[in-house]
């Protein structure tokens, strides 16, 4: 499996670290906005081809699939570009920043029949997988999820502390993780409400947001998001269930009393990004729909669209 990766930034390197651990996978091309920093990453990971134009990589005959870690605003158009070039594609979350663009990617995937997957990593973190199996087996049921997504982003910087060329978004990016996860764990979402705080004077985005969700099962989700939080950073999920309480912190899981849960047998790795990439490669090899396919996550983007319309109103 020969893969091109577009977006040689902080998250792109996480994928490169994960891909190194998958047998029979080689990254043959790396695409970045600026040539010299991209070349430096390519040298670090022993990648032979470097480009600043995605089309150059798509034209190569040593590329079977593409992983897009580019700015949010480029995701939908680039995913369609990859599919048009006959390449399977994994798009980092979010698939798009509008419902129309997300639906356009699904239409192209159905037209081509290629694998098109979205990086909804929470489906792959061993912590959430462990609980998903409990729910599927009827051993527990979600009553409420309480989720905090907190960052300190008063300046437009990436995870490496470097200036970003694009603006991140609480609703279309960070809320997408939880909206999709809640539906995956508790069932289809039938009610959604959102309120937001003041817009940043320079970035033009809300820095604080509160979202309420209700699933068809009756389960509730309360999601708090902030770019103003100067404290512990990241996303923390409290699952309040009928037979117990669990707290998920990315790939780790504890009970409501902070007792560690052994996740050693859940998957071949304890790294959600690596597991996500393993699913992408396996789906291509096996000619099947992947977990977190464009079709599977589209309901999430329908909910985000409804929330955006509320906020605009």
* Domain ranges for the chain: 2-120, 125-266
pLDDT tens digits, 170-190: 999 999 999 999 999 999 999
CA angle 78, 72, 113 (to 5 degrees): 40
- Asked whether 25 and 17 are in contact (CB, 8 A), the reply is no
Per-residue model confidence (pLDDT) at position 106: 98
Exposed/middle/buried for 262, CB within 10 Å: 0-12, 13-18, 19+? Answer: exposed
Give the containing element (helix H, strand E) for 296: helix 294-312
Radius of gyration of the chain (CA): 19
CA angle 9, 207, 34 (to 5 degrees): 20
Per-residue model confidence (pLDDT) at position 29: 98
Question: Exposure string (b/e) for 290-303, b if CB count within 10 Å is 16 or more?
Answer: bbbbbebbbebbeb
Query: 86's torsion region: left (phi>0), alpha (psi -120 to 50) or beta?
Result: left
The CATH superfamily assigned to 125-266 is: Dihydrodipicolinate Reductase; domain 2 (3.30.360.10)
The 2-6 sheet, strands edge to edge:
49-51, 26-31, 2-6, 65-68, 88-92, 116-119
Nearest in space to 294 (alpha carbons), one of 145, 126, 109:
109
Architecture of the domain whose range is 2-120: 3-Layer(aba) Sandwich (3.40)
Per-residue model confidence (pLDDT) at position 160: 58
- Asked whether 120 and 297 are in contact (CB, 8 A), the reply is yes
Alpha helices (H) in 137-218, listed in sequence order:
176-186
Once rounded to an integer, what is the mean pLDDT over residues 285-295? 98
Per-residue model confidence (pLDDT) at position 232: 84
Reported as a pLDDT band with limits 50, 70 and 90, residue 231 is confident
Alpha helices (H) in 20-98, listed in sequence order:
35-44, 54-58, 75-84
Do you find a cis peptide bond into 94, omega within 30 degrees of 0? yes
Evaluate if residue 159 carries a pLDDT over 60: no
Once rounded to an integer, what is the mean pLDDT over residues 106-134? 98
Bridge partners (DSSP) of residue 247 are 238, 254
Once rounded to an integer, what is the mean pLDDT over residues 81-89? 98
Reported as a pLDDT band with limits 50, 70 and 90, residue 260 is very high
pLDDT tens digits, 180-226: 999 999 999 999 999 999 988 888 888 999 999 999 999 999 999 99
Per-residue model confidence (pLDDT) at position 152: 84
Evaluate if residue 165 carries a pLDDT over 60: no
pLDDT tens digits, 7-66: 998 899 999 999 999 999 999 999 999 999 999 999 999 999 999 999 999 999 999 999
Query: 155's torsion region: left (phi>0), alpha (psi -120 to 50) or beta?
Result: beta
* Summary mean pLDDT of the chain: 94
Evaluate if residue 264 carries a pLDDT over 90: yes
């Amino acid at each position: 499996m020969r893969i091109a990766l577009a977006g040689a930034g902080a998250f792109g390197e996480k994928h490169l670290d994960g891909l190194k651990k998958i047998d029979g996978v080689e990254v043959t091309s790396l695409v970045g906005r600026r040539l010299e920093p991209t070349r430096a990453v390519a040298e670090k990971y022993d990648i032979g081809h470097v480009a600043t134009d995605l089309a150059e990589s798509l034209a190569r005959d040593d590329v079977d699939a593409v992983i897009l870690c580019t700015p949010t605003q480029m995701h939908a158009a680039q995913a369609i570009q990859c599919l048009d070039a006959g390449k399977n594609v994994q798009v980092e979350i979010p698939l798009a920043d509008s419902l129309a663009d997300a639906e356009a990617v699904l239409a192209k995937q159905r037209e081509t029949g290629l694998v098109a997957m979205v990086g909804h990593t929470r489906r792959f973190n061993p912590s959430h997988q462990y609980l998903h199996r409990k729910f599927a087996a009827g051993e527990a049921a979600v009553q409420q999820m309480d989720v905090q997504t907190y960052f300190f982003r008063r300046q437009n910087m990436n995870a490496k502390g470097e200036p970003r060329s694009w603006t991140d978004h609480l609703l279309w990016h960070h809320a997408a993780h939880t909206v999709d996860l809640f539906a995956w764990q508790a069932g289809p979402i039938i009610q959604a409400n959102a309120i937001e705080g003041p817009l940043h004077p320079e970035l033009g985005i809300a820095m604080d947001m509160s979202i309420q969700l209700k699933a068809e099962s009756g389960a509730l989700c309360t999601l708090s998001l902030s770019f103003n939080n100067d404290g512990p950073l990241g996303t923390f999920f409290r699952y309040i269930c009928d037979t117990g309480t669990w707290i998920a912190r990315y790939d780790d899981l504890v009970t409501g009393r902070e007792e560690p849960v052994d996740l050693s047998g859940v998957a071949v790795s304890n790294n959600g990004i690596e597991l996500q990439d393993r699913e992408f490669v396996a789906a291509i090899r096996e000619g099947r729909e992947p977990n977190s396919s464009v079709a599977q996550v589209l309901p999430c983007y329908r909910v985000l669209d409804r929330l955006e319309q509320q906020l605009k109103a």
